[in-house]
Amino acid sequence: MTSPGVSNTRKRRRPAYSCVSCRRRKVRCDRANPCRQCETQNIASTCTYEQNRNARAGRETVPSTTNGKNYQRQNVESNSGQPSHTPHASSQQAASTPGQIRGMVSKTRVFGQGHWMNIFSLTEGLPSLQPLMGLYDTIIRNTSHGPFDAIADKIAQCKRLARSIKSQRPSRSSLPTQIHQSLPGSDIVLELAQLYFASFESCYRILQKNSFMRHCQTYLNNYEDMDICIVLQIFLVVAIAGPLHQDNNVRIDVASKAGMWIHTAQTWLSAPLEKNRLTLGAIQVHCLLLIARQVNQVGADLIWISTGSLMRMAMQMGLHQDPNSLSEMKSTEKELRRQLWYTILELNLQSSLDSGMVPMIATADWNTEPPNDHSLESEQEIGEEEVPAAHKATNFQPILSKSIPVRLHASRLINDLREEPPYDEVLEIGQELTSACRDISVTLDQINSASPLDQFASSFCTHLIRRFTLCLHYKFAIMARANPLFSHSRKAGVEAALDIIALVEDNLYGRVLRCGGGMFRDIVTRAAILIFSESSPDPEAESSSLAKRRDYARQETLLRDARCVVQYAKERLHYGETNVKVYVFYNMMLAQAEARLNGQSEEEAVSRTLHESVDVCYSMMQNLVARASISAGPSTASLEDNLDRSDNFGQVLDRGFDYIHDSDFNLDFPDLQLFSGW
């Protein structure tokens, strides 16, 4: 009778390194993924490698049980952004090594314990199912199928037919040919790509520069058979960097086509029931799409909704779990996953301010380590040649990531719909934000470069962090005019507003502020109100002529910033902004502040300014309509209707200042009653 110890001993076999298909066909395999043999046979999608079960068997001293079985982990995804092809899913049970996830990794997705695949894996140890599982292994998982070769081949044919069926879906079709012809010349595309990496990638780390530039050059030489992810990334990079090009004709050309590229990428991402979108490449497309929408004002106010979809997509792929707790992967892929996750967190944070909604995530929801301070390009693959860089970009993502927890807290306080935040907590969070701003300022001072691209990166980083201080203190800064207890918020809010308004002076970043939407409209949606509030003196507080002179000297500095805001609002109209009410309203506020400071009639000054502002807006809107017609843009019927309605401005000139609060003169500022005392 054989002892139990002998019966449980398995004969060690030489580990198999060839892929399953090459072993079955008995041909030489180069061990790539996919291998050359499978690519030649047009079965690259089925190129899989059997896991080394011998190593597991050698470590096991007792028979496998339901709770003790621990499958080998599979690669989540390759650097190229394409899904890795694994023979079966892997799972980590509750008794797994500390630090590993308590769930399952299947191809490019991560599943928690509630997913059916985790439940199914538990049934493999049931005695009643052992014969069936053995048969399943023989037909599906093993390289040698014995008497079931015909069945295994038939199943393989079914898989090929299934892929053929899926390839006929509209969402799997290639991009229209004419869209490839819409890009600018090759030299301009490469210039815009370099501009993108030197500017926006300083804070949003999305792409690997060397890899992207090589793909870009390949695409420009021949766009056929190019991965759609790469193509869409190129389009979106051009759309994002377009406003930064030195040639005005290039800026106009890119702006006229950016909407088409953005809608193409949005359509591709929105394809229903397509698991092949769950790749790092698709994540990169999604991140670029959200930035492009803000830069080009395409649904920029709805970014928070799209960011929620992106975040769930990333979490389904396990980006919220540190790569060390997932599968074995290259160090560059680990760092790419970390950079993408913190980019998504940043996008989510910024969009929550723009939408007035909470971020919908807490610090306990992820354990991904912050990205390193060095670039992914420092780790080159063997045989790779580094693409020469026109400008070495600064990486602000690591220092921005340190302040994400406090900014999450601030965003929740700002946008809480149920409770008014205690002012003590506002002050506490404000101090933490000030500390974070101080750390970033030290980094910015160390750079101290006169390069326009470095200045852009510095302005971008400053904007991303300072707007939280502005939003946190905004309400209390307004209330401070009536309640001195909030004087600290008044000071902190005005300083943050002045810092953001000063960004207009940056030549490159100022272009994005003039043409962009979402967070790039902070000056007209938030900062301007505080500046006009401070630049309009309180008549009741003036007690002497000396006080008036001191007040005049102090207000004159603020009025210069107020005039800058009005000019900025006018320039936004030139860049395509269609909301004329913002420019008209701020021009009226400036006229009121100047008249009050100079002791002139406020009503006459505001009425005169209103006439002049409306005439200017009407003329600029006519020019926009003409430009849109020439570029064969979208229908301008609705825009022309809005122009006709603008004549109603003249009907309110003789009604004093009551028309500001009239429902027929809605300026889309819900808190206008706050300004009634100016």
pLDDT at 445: 84
pLDDT category at 176 given cuts 50, 70, 90 is: confident
CB distance 318 to 83 below 8 Å: no
For 645-657, what is the mean pLDDT?
A: 38
What is the crossing angle of helices 545-574 and 487-501, to 10°?
40
* Residue 451: pLDDT over 80: yes
Q: Given 3-state DSSP classes, what are the helix, strand and coil percentages for the chain, each rounded to the nearest 5?
A: 65, 0, 35
For 356-368, what is the mean pLDDT?
A: 93
CB distance 193 to 185 below 8 Å: no
* Residue 78: pLDDT over 50: no
Tell me the DSSP string of 183-220.
Answer: S--HHHHHHHHHHHHHHGGGT---S-HHHHHHHHHHHH
Buried b (16+ CB within 10 A) or exposed e, 125-134: beeeeeeeee
pLDDT category at 545 given cuts 50, 70, 90 is: low
pLDDT at 659: 38
pLDDT at 327: 76
Greatest CA separation found in the chain?
114
104 DSSP β-pair partners: 91, 111
pLDDT at 123: 62
pLDDT tens by residue, 239-298: 999 999 999 999 999 999 999 999 999 988 887 656 678 899 999 999 999 999 999 999
pLDDT at 404: 96
Q: How far apart are CA 473 and CA 475, in angstroms?
A: 6
pLDDT at 105: 63
Of the ranges 451-455, 613-617, 628-632, which one carries the lowest mean pLDDT score?
628-632
pLDDT category at 567 given cuts 50, 70, 90 is: very high
Amino acid found at 44: A
* Residue 59: pLDDT over 70: no
pLDDT at 159: 78
Tokens describing residue 13: 């076999």
For 64-70, what is the mean pLDDT?
A: 35
pLDDT at 272: 67
Higher per-residue confidence, 520 vs 21: 520
* Residue 434: pLDDT over 90: yes
Query: Of the spans 65-69, 119-123, 238-242, 545-549, which averages the highest pLDDT?
Result: 238-242
* Residue 12: pLDDT over 60: no
pLDDT category at 524 given cuts 50, 70, 90 is: confident
pLDDT tens by residue, 568-622: 999 999 888 888 999 999 999 999 988 888 878 889 999 999 999 999 999 999 9
Q: How far apart are CA 16 and CA 535, in angstroms?
A: 77
Higher per-residue confidence, 40 vs 211: 211
pLDDT tens by residue, 323-350: 988 878 888 999 999 999 999 999 999 9
- Tell me the HSE value of 240 on the side-chain side, using a 13 A CA sphere: 25
* Residue 403: pLDDT over 50: yes
* Average pLDDT of the residues of the chain: 78
Give how far Cα 421 sits from Cα of 411, 418, 466, 492, 536, Å.
Answer: 11, 9, 20, 17, 28
Of the ranges 137-146, 275-284, 395-404, which one carries the lowest mean pLDDT score?
137-146
For 181-210, what is the mean pLDDT?
A: 95
- Tell me the HSE value of 283 on the side-chain side, using a 13 A CA sphere: 35
* Residue 387: pLDDT over 50: no
pLDDT at 87: 36
pLDDT at 540: 61
pLDDT at 547: 64
Q: How far apart are CA 493 and CA 497, in angstroms?
A: 6
For 485-489, what is the mean pLDDT?
A: 94
For 650-677, what is the mean pLDDT?
A: 40
pLDDT at 271: 75
pTM (predicted TM-score): 0.74
Helix or strand (DSSP H, E) at 106: strand 104-106
For 518-546, what is the mean pLDDT?
A: 79
For 514-522, what is the mean pLDDT?
A: 93
For 353-367, what is the mean pLDDT?
A: 93
pLDDT at 306: 94
Higher per-residue confidence, 678 vs 243: 243
Q: Percent of the chain beyond pLDDT 70?
A: 69
pLDDT at 154: 80
* Residue 624: pLDDT over 70: yes
Of the ranges 55-59, 136-140, 399-403, which one carries the lowest mean pLDDT score?
55-59
* Residue 432: pLDDT over 90: yes
For 445-473, what is the mean pLDDT?
A: 91
* Residue 79: pLDDT over 50: no
* Residue 315: pLDDT over 80: yes
Higher per-residue confidence, 136 vs 482: 482
pLDDT category at 443 given cuts 50, 70, 90 is: confident
Using CB atoms within 10 A of its CB, is residue 171 exposed (0-12), middle (13-18) or buried (19+)?
A: middle
pLDDT category at 641 given cuts 50, 70, 90 is: very low
* Residue 385: pLDDT over 90: no
